Amino acid sequence: MRRLLTEIVEKAGVSGLPKSDLDNARELLKNNEFGLCLDVVVTQVYEHEILIEFGFYELLKEAAAIIGIPCEEIDFIRKLVRAD
């Protein structure tokens, strides 16, 4: 789980998530707050309207499923997937 969330946080940074949000996510990850880490990334990517790759969206869904969050709860971010 840690490896998957680390990859998600890094991809969020490459996509343009601000450093302060990345720092928050990393701190939560460091403290094994996996659900909160994912929530910060998803919420802040959405709030900042950062366009994401479909593969990144798939990673978010995978992490949500592992944590036990219904995919429907993060599906709102799908509208930010780039139409490449």
The pTM assigned to this predicted structure is 0.94
Say if CB 77 and CB 44 are below 8 A apart. Answer: no
Which residue do the tokens 């890094």 mark? 10
CA nearest 32: which of 2, 6, 58, 59? 2
**5/19 Cα distance (integer angstroms):** 16
Give me the helices (H) in the chain, please: 2-15, 19-30, 34-47, 54-67
- pLDDT tens figures, 28-76: 999 999 999 999 999 999 999 999 999 999 999 999 999 999 989 999 9
> In this structure, what DSSP letter does residue 68 have?
T
**pLDDT number for residue 43:** 97
Count up the domains in the chain and report the number: 1
Average pLDDT over residues 1-17: 97
Containing structural domain, residue 27: 2-80
Average pLDDT over residues 10-29: 98
**71/17 Cα distance (integer angstroms):** 22
